Amino acid sequence: MRTLELDSLVIGGGAAGMAAAVECAERGCKTVLVEREASTGGVLNQCIHNGFGLHVFKEELTGPEYAHLFQKQMADRGIDVHPDRFVLKVDPQKKEVITIGASGATCYKPNALIMTTGARERSFANLRIPGTRPSGIFTAGVAQRFVNLQNRLPGKKAFILGSGDIGLIMARRLTLEGMEVLGVAELMPFPGGLARNISQCLDDFDIPLYLSTSVVEVHGKERLNAITLARFDPGTGKVLPGTRKTIEVDTLILSVGLLPQNELIEDFCEVDAINRGVRVDSMMRTSNPWIFAAGNNVTVYDLVDFVTLDAKFAGQMAATIIKGGRLAQSAIPLKRGKNVGAMTPGKVCAGGNPFTIFLRSRKVMEKGRIELGPGLLSRVHMGIRPSEMLEVKVTQGHLEKIQQMGWKELTISLEEVEA
C-alpha cells in the first residue's frame, strides 16, 4: 500500500470539495482531492439547468459550467486530483485515510482533512409507502442522471412526489425531453423549492402542484402502472377521508429530501440531529480538530453559491493550521431558538474569524425578525420560506462583544412579525 504524506486531503470532488481544495492550494498547501467518480464536479455535471453562480460569479451559469470554472481553478493551482478512488476508512488516531482504486490501495497522511462528501437522496423504501415494489420508481437525481448523462428517459408518463427544487427541475426536464408529467404532489401545505422554480418549471408548463397531498399506495406487478394520491390534513397529518384518487402513470419521481452523508466520520464526530449532518464550529471544524467539513454533508443547502462560500472558508481555515497558524480553540454552542430548523455552524469561536450563519425557517412567514443574541443582532426579513436559506453575517464587532460579555452560549431565533 502506497503512503502519501501531504498538507491537506479533501474527500469528495463536488462543489464543496473543489472550492475547499482551491483555497488550500492558493495558500501554498500541498493538496490532494480524492473523488470516487471518474471526474470531479459531483452532481453539478448532471444539473444542466441554470441558476448557479449568481452570488459567487455574478452570472447565471449551468451546473457543468460552474463545475468547469472550479476544475480550471484546480488545474491552475496544480491540485492533484485522484479520481476513481474510494475512501475505506478515516482513522482519527493515526490521522490516516485508507483508500482503494484501480491502481491499488493508498494511505494518505494529511495534516488537515476536509470532508466534503455531500448528501444522498432519501429512498423510496424509507418512505414506507405501501403497495408493490415495481420498477419505474426513481429518485429525482437518478432520473436526472439517466436523462442528462446516459441519454435515457425513465418512462412515458410521470408523476412527481415532492416539490423540492430537484423535483421541480425534473418536472420541466422530463416535459421538455418528451414525457408527460401529470403533476407534482407536496405533503406540506407550502412548496419545498424556490418560488422561481415553481414559476418556470410548473407554471410555464401548466403542470399542477397539489399541496398537502402525497402518494399513499403504488401499484403494478413488474412495472409501475398507477399511484394512489390522497390529501392530508395539515394540522393532524392524517389522510382526509374520501380524498384518495388513483391515477395511471408508469413513472414515479421522488424528490423527498437529501440526507447528509458522513458514514466515514460519524462514529467519532458529533452529528447535529436536526441537520442530520456533521456539526461544525464557526471555523468549519468538526468536533475532531483534524477534520474540517463543508457542504451538503454538514447541512443541506439550497444554493450552490452558499456551499462554495462555506467550503472556501473551510479551505482557508484548514490552510491556516497547516501553515502553523492557530485557530481559536474554545467554542460556545449556537442554539436554535424559535422557528429555526436546519442551521450551521453549531458552535461559535468568539476568538476566531467572522463567519456566516446559514439557517432555514421552520415556517412560512410574510415578515419575520431574526434575532441573534442575547441582543447581538436583530433584523427584519420579508418573504421567509423554509425552502430558502437565510444568511446572517457575524462580524468582528459581534465576536468582540461576545468575548467582552463572556457569554457561554448564543441563540438564534425567528419570530413572526405582523406584515
Q: Which CB, 78 or 130, lies closer to other proteins?
A: 130
Stretch that binds other proteins, among 144-152, 228-236, 284-292, 406-414 (CB under 8 A): 144-152
1 binds other proteins (CB under 8 A): yes
Cβ 388 to other proteins shortest distance, Å: 7
Enumerate residues 259-278 that contact other proteins by CB under 8 A. 263, 266-267
Handedness of CA 43, 49, 50, 51 (dihedral sign): negative
Phi first, then psi: what are they for 376, rounded to 5°?
-85, -40
Enumerate residues 34-73 that contact other proteins by CB under 8 A. 36, 45, 48-51, 54, 60-62, 64-65, 68
C-alpha cell at 387: 425552502
120 binds other proteins (CB under 8 A): yes
Handedness of CA 85, 273, 303, 313 (dihedral sign): negative
Chain centroid to CA 31: how far?
A: 24
Cβ 324 to other proteins shortest distance, Å: 31
Enumerate residues 366-395 that contact other proteins by CB under 8 A. 382-383, 388
Q: Which CB, 161 or 318, lies closer to other proteins?
A: 161
Enumerate residues 242-261 that contact other proteins by CB under 8 A. 251
Cα–Cα distance list, 159 to 110, 140, 152 (Å): 47, 11, 17
Q: Which CB, 100 or 417, lies closer to other proteins?
A: 100
In 3-state terms, what secondary structure has residue 203? helix
In 3-state terms, what secondary structure has residue 251? strand
Cβ 253 to other proteins shortest distance, Å: 13
Q: Which CB, 316 or 361, lies closer to other proteins?
A: 361
Cβ 147 to other proteins shortest distance, Å: 6
Q: Kindly determine how many residues on this chain lie close enough to bind other proteins according to the rule CB under 8 A.
A: 78
Alpha-carbon distance 215 to 75, whole Å? 46
> Helices (DSSP H) in 258-323: which residue ranges?
304-322
124 binds other proteins (CB under 8 A): yes
Cβ 141 to other proteins shortest distance, Å: 7
Biggest alpha carbon–alpha carbon distance for the chain = 67
100 binds other proteins (CB under 8 A): yes
Question: How many C-beta neighbours within 10 Å does residue 328 have?
Answer: 16
C-alpha cell at 110: 494529511
